Amino acid sequence: MRGIRWILFAVAMAGILGGLAYGQSVSNPGTFIQATINSVETLDPQFMLSSATTEISYNVYDSLLDHPAGDLEALVPGLATVVPSLDNGLITLAEDGTTYITFPIRSGVKFHNGATLTSEDVKYTFMRAFLVGGQASSINMLVQNLLGKASFSELVDEMGYDAAYATLDQAITVSGINVTFKLPKPFVPFLGIMADGGAAAAILNKAWCIEQGCWPGTKETGQANMNLTMETDPLFGKMMGTGPFQLVLCEPMERVVLDAFKDYWRGAPQLDRVIRMIVEDTQTAVLLLKNGDVDFTSIDVTELPQVQGAAGVTVLDNLPSNWLMKINFVLHISPSSSYIGNGVLGSDGIPADFFTDLDLRKAFQYSFDWDTYINDVFLGAALKPYGPVLIGFPTANPANPQYYYDPAKAEEYFRNAWGGQVWEKGFHLTAVYSTGSRHRQMALELLKANVEALNPKFRIDLASLPWAAYVGAVQDKQLPMSLFGMLPDVFDPYLPLFEHMHSAGGYADWSGYTDLAIAKYDPLVNELGSNYDPARRQELSYELQRMAYEDSLSIFHFQAVEHVALRDWIHGFYVGPFPSNVDFYALSKG
Amino acid sequence: MVRYVIKRLLVLPLILLVLSALIFSLVMFLSPYERLAVFVPNADSVSANIPFDELVERYGLDRPFYVQYYEWLKQVLHGNLGWSPSARMPVARAIGRYFPATVELMLLGSVIVFAGGVFLGTKAAVRHNRLPDQFVRVGTIFGVSMPEFVFGLLLLVVFYGWLKWFPPGRLSMWAEDVVYLSNYRQYTGMNLVDSLINRRPDVFLDALRHLVLPAIAYSIGLLSTMVRMVRSALLETLQMDYVTTARAKGLAERIVTIRHARRNALRPVITLAGSIVAKMLGGAVIVETVFNYRGMGKFIVTAAQGLDFPAILGASLLIGVIIVVTNLIIDLLYMVIDPTVVLE
């Protein structure tokens, strides 16, 4: 019996000591393992809506152009051999504004299945994207600017399928190794969209796509392939590109496994394998990282103390990301909304056009305490935006007039709002956030506290809705204020300004200022999108940012920063626009 | 008895039909935009650039209730439970993937709950008011009151973070390569079973190693409840006249307890066992999240939060089947435990 006890003790000690020794050397050499909470929504790059999913596409596919590592302003050739420009003649402008942009396609580039890239693959890629109704925001941008409509379906409704297909077919032409895009008017962000490195503008292999059941590439078969859904999309669970890694396995809610593509045209990657695993509990992800079972994960600000100083772990914090959030005033709330009380200005409600008053909107602006919000919600790890153009973007203007927390000014504007009636009668509205969204909830709580402190007749109730119901309520214009943001994935000021201010940008419709946008913003935004002169573009962007301040249609309440942690044995990581999206090709391990 | 079983099973389709119609009609109270949100991932990444109206039309969310229900029912009768946007795969495939994981967890957890519960409850009852009983009673209070999330994290920090004995997840990386990327065949989806069929004892041990902590975390509360139930039932039974008679006849105390008293004390325990099994088969979202062990709990909660009604319906049908079958098995077990019970 005593002998057995000694044996058991020895086994336990061996286990403990072995466990403590575990993880000192490089775990899983050659394999990069990333822990993320973001599951894969689809593997079809033309339908990707989430920035997290585009990370996979970025590493499996290539685009015609690219950015040098970490430099989002410069463009370099990708699958095209030259960056088109007016100077090299690959961009030509006709007198009527028609713009031709030509990309010479690189020869000798192999797809993962051994096929060789041709210009026909490029034409097929974009025709397919428009035909099937790709939902990625870049695809939407391209459709609008190539076909002049919000979607290919809209074009079909207008002119019939045959004419619409002919328009699409003539908008993208092939001649030898060249692919030429014909735009009805100049569209400056076009090159930036083509430089997304293999996200929405990823180049597909036509023959392989057809083998998988995609559109066969003919006019006769196009109509039957329009407007795909997740379950009808043959590429939902498949990827095959020219990128440095090839898809081995995808379990959408669990893991994606990529293997190195040794015949990559830029040279074989240094890693053998990449595993992107879903770990929904961030505490578990931290433990995995510390034990070396995972090489990289994004970290919440509250978990930073757990990893800072941890052996073998490097922490990169406060990395600006392309995510900006704003509180949007809804100028024309649905009269049937249950969040406006009795629909009359006073202690029991607000009118449906409550936020059409500029003084009122400014009063709310001066009631928002950015410093407290950023310190309390993000523990200081967030940025106060300049306006609709994100910090770090070209033409973002730090000198743009800003709102700031000032109760005295807030009171002054409240007293003026609605000719003094707001101050006299008070108001009562319900502000809604999506359940579980702490940053939305805290923003509204802060606003509520500061506004109600000014006048006891002011009442803001708070309510939460499940995410699904929240989106529905926003679409139906039920909410007096909506909290939605922007994640522009192309590094150009046109995109956020279009989204926030243009009549076709979405927010104009959601928030009820379409007429204002048509009258005041559209001409400037349109010119911003079509003028190649950098000086003029800056002028236009600055003017639009000033207008956004003047008209006060949204409170830009934060721009996110991200924090990531990685093991010391990972080299080559650089920070992109979404820091937790990793360029696996740049990495080595050991 | 056979007639009884058949009669009970014949009621099952009717129950499922009513259940599905009820859930379907509740979901239809939501607007098409609300039901669309499950197709739009990640709340914070949504921008105004997404064509919501077009998507509503594309997914047929604006069609009348009876049209949508009829389409769904037709699919189900052909063995197709529809597509789950939240799981990004067909509902049947998602259930086929996550249900075996939950069954595995349930099986190991059940061993802990039932075997442990009966053993500890018996010990506590037999040694009433002595040290083992005190220890068990304090332990069960701890087990019932400790939140699953906290206990699970504690286990993870100690046994994985410090000792590195039991990692989270279902399998290690090398074992996943074997299971998913080699000629290994998955028959049941349960790693413990499939590894034995594939003659991979290394995968079996790895799967077991990954199951230990989630099974303990999951079952601690239920174990505590079971222990208390067995203890109090046995204490009551040990006071019965027939037990006194058995002792008077000179039978060994162990035989009196196990063969006479405990057998009768197990009847209320079996009733509880049925609901425990049904509950466990519904998954444990907290344990699954902490240990990164994806099963039915996470699948159902994600579907519910996202109003993924094909997945909700599919999971509801499965749970309906489980409950009916479980209750039937319990009734049959009563007959085994107590031959005087007659099922009509």
Q: Give one DSSP letter per residue of A412-425, joined into a string.
A: HHHHHGGGGHHHHH
By C-alpha distance, which of B223, B192, B216, B189 is closest to B287? B216
User: 3-state SS of A219-277?
Assistant: HHHHHHHCCCCCCCCCCCCCCCCCCCEEEEEEECCCEEEEEECCCCCCCCCCCCEEEEE
Contacts of B93 in chain A (CB under 8 A): none
Contacts of B176 in chain A (CB under 8 A): 255
Q: Which of B34, B47, B291 sits opposite A137 (nearest CB)?
A: B47
Asked if residue A144 lies in contact with residue A106, where contact means CB atoms within 8 angstroms, the answer is no
Residues 6+ apart with CB under 8 A from B343: B1, B4, B331, B332, B334, B335
Distance from C-alpha of A458 to C-alpha of A436, rounded to nearest angstrom:
26
8 Å CB contact of A281 and B290: yes
- Chain B contact present for A157, CB below 8 A: no
What pLDDT, on a 0 to 100 scale, did the predictor assign at position A21?
43
8 Å CB contact of A281 and B292: yes
Instruction: For residue B182, give how far its alpha carbon lies from the nearest alpha carbon of chain A (Å).
Output: 12
Q: Which of B41, B83, B289 sits opposite A49 (nearest CB)?
A: B41
Scanning every residue of chain B, which has its alpha carbon at the shortest distance from the alpha carbon of A14?
B163
By C-alpha distance, which of A43, A62, A119, A48 is closest to A244? A62
8 Å CB contact of B36 and A472: yes
Q: Which of B42, B48, B176 sits opposite A38 (nearest CB)?
A: B42
Within 475-514 of A, beta carbons closer than 8 Å to B belong to 475-476, 484-487, 499, 505-507, 509-510
Please determine, for the modelled complex, whether the ipTM score is greater than 0.90: no
- Chain B contact present for A471, CB below 8 A: yes
8 Å CB contact of A283 and B290: yes
Within 198-237 of A, beta carbons closer than 8 Å to B belong to 227, 229-231, 236-237
Asked if residue A360 lies in contact with residue A417, where contact means CB atoms within 8 angstroms, the answer is yes
Q: Which of A15, A18, A468 sits opposite B34 (nearest CB)?
A: A468
Asked if residue A564 lies in contact with residue A580, where contact means CB atoms within 8 angstroms, the answer is yes
Scanning every residue of chain A, which has its alpha carbon at the shortest distance from the alpha carbon of B294?
A254
Scanning every residue of chain B, which has its alpha carbon at the shortest distance from the alpha carbon of A13?
B163
Residues lower than pLDDT 70 in chain B:
34, 37-52, 282-283, 337-344
What pLDDT, on a 0 to 100 scale, did the predictor assign at position A240?
97
8 Å CB contact of B90 and A231: yes
Provide the greatest CA pair distance for chain B: 85
Residue carrying structure tokens 């009359």: A344
Instruction: For residue A437, give how far its alpha carbon lies from the nearest alpha carbon of chain B (Å).
Output: 9
Instruction: For residue B116, give how far its alpha carbon lies from the nearest alpha carbon of chain A (Å).
Output: 22
Instruction: For residue B250, give how far its alpha carbon lies from the nearest alpha carbon of chain A (Å).
Output: 33
Instruction: For residue A150, give how far its alpha carbon lies from the nearest alpha carbon of chain B (Å).
Output: 9
Within A94-208, strands assigned E span 99-104, 172-175, 178-183
Within 233-272 of B, beta carbons closer than 8 Å to A belong to none
Residue carrying structure tokens 């379950």: A231
Beta pairing class for A178-183 and A99-104? antiparallel
Q: Retrieve residue A12's tokens.
A: 């336990």
Distance from C-alpha of B58 to C-alpha of B69, rounded to nearest angstrom:
17
Asked if residue B170 lies in contact with residue B210, where contact means CB atoms within 8 angstroms, the answer is yes
Within A85-193, strands assigned E span 91-93, 99-104, 172-175, 178-183
Cα dihedral across residues A151, A183, A241, A35: positive or negative:
negative
What pLDDT, on a 0 to 100 scale, did the predictor assign at position A127?
95
Q: Which of A231, A288, A467 sits opposite B83 (nearest CB)?
A: A231
Q: Which of B32, B39, B160 sits opposite A287 (nearest CB)?
A: B160
Q: Which domains does chain A have, with CATH numbers?
A: 2-40+242-320+562-589 (3.40.190.10), 45-232 (3.90.76.10), 326-559 (3.10.105.10)
- Chain A contact present for B340, CB below 8 A: no
8 Å CB contact of B173 and A275: yes
Scanning every residue of chain B, which has its alpha carbon at the shortest distance from the alpha carbon of A280?
B289
Q: Report the half-sphere exposure of B8 (CA within 13 A, side-chain side).
A: 18
Instruction: For residue B300, give how far its alpha carbon lies from the nearest alpha carbon of chain A (Å).
Output: 13
- Chain B contact present for A311, CB below 8 A: no
Asked if residue A326 lies in contact with residue A386, where contact means CB atoms within 8 angstroms, the answer is no
Contacts of B165 in chain A (CB under 8 A): 15, 19
Instruction: For residue A209, give how far its alpha carbon lies from the nearest alpha carbon of chain B (Å).
Output: 20
- Chain B contact present for A469, CB below 8 A: yes
8 Å CB contact of B51 and A151: yes
Q: To 5 degrees, how large is the angle CA A256–CA A261–CA A263?
A: 165
Contacts of A323 in chain B (CB under 8 A): 44-45
- Chain A contact present for B29, CB below 8 A: no
What pLDDT, on a 0 to 100 scale, did the predictor assign at position B243?
78
Asked if residue B213 lies in contact with residue B155, where contact means CB atoms within 8 angstroms, the answer is yes
Query: Mean pLDDT for each consecutive 10-residue tract of chain A (590 residues)?
Result: 57 52 72 91 85 86 90 90 95 94 97 97 96 81 87 92 96 96 94 85 97 96 88 91 96 91 97 94 92 94 90 91 92 96 96 97 98 91 94 93 97 98 97 90 96 97 85 87 86 91 89 95 95 94 97 96 94 85 93
Contacts of B30 in chain A (CB under 8 A): 468-469, 472
Q: Which of A38, A325, A467 sits opposite B37 (nearest CB)?
A: A467
- Chain A contact present for B35, CB below 8 A: yes
Contacts of B33 in chain A (CB under 8 A): 471-472, 475-476
Beta pairing class for A31-36 and A458-465? unpaired
Scanning every residue of chain A, which has its alpha carbon at the shortest distance from the alpha carbon of B150?
A283
Contacts of B160 in chain A (CB under 8 A): 287, 291
Residue carrying structure tokens 């119609």: B21
Instruction: For residue A528, give how far its alpha carbon lies from the nearest alpha carbon of chain B (Å).
Output: 18
- Chain B contact present for A432, CB below 8 A: no
Interface A-B: count of C-beta contacts within 8 A: 180
Distance from C-alpha of A270 to C-alpha of A263, rounded to nearest angstrom:
12
Within 153-192 of B, beta carbons closer than 8 Å to A belong to 153, 156-157, 160-165, 167-169, 173, 176, 180-181
8 Å CB contact of B88 and A476: no
Residue carrying structure tokens 């000033």: A546
What pLDDT, on a 0 to 100 scale, did the predictor assign at position A313?
96
Q: Which of A40, A251, A486 sits opposite B47 (nearest CB)?
A: A486
Contacts of B296 in chain A (CB under 8 A): none
Asked if residue A243 lies in contact with residue A61, where contact means CB atoms within 8 angstroms, the answer is yes
Q: Which of B30, B168, B289 sits opposite A472 (nearest CB)?
A: B30
Q: Retrieve residue A199's tokens.
A: 């996200």
Q: Which of B30, B85, B163 sits opposite A469 (nearest CB)?
A: B30
**What is the amino acid identity at position B65?**
F
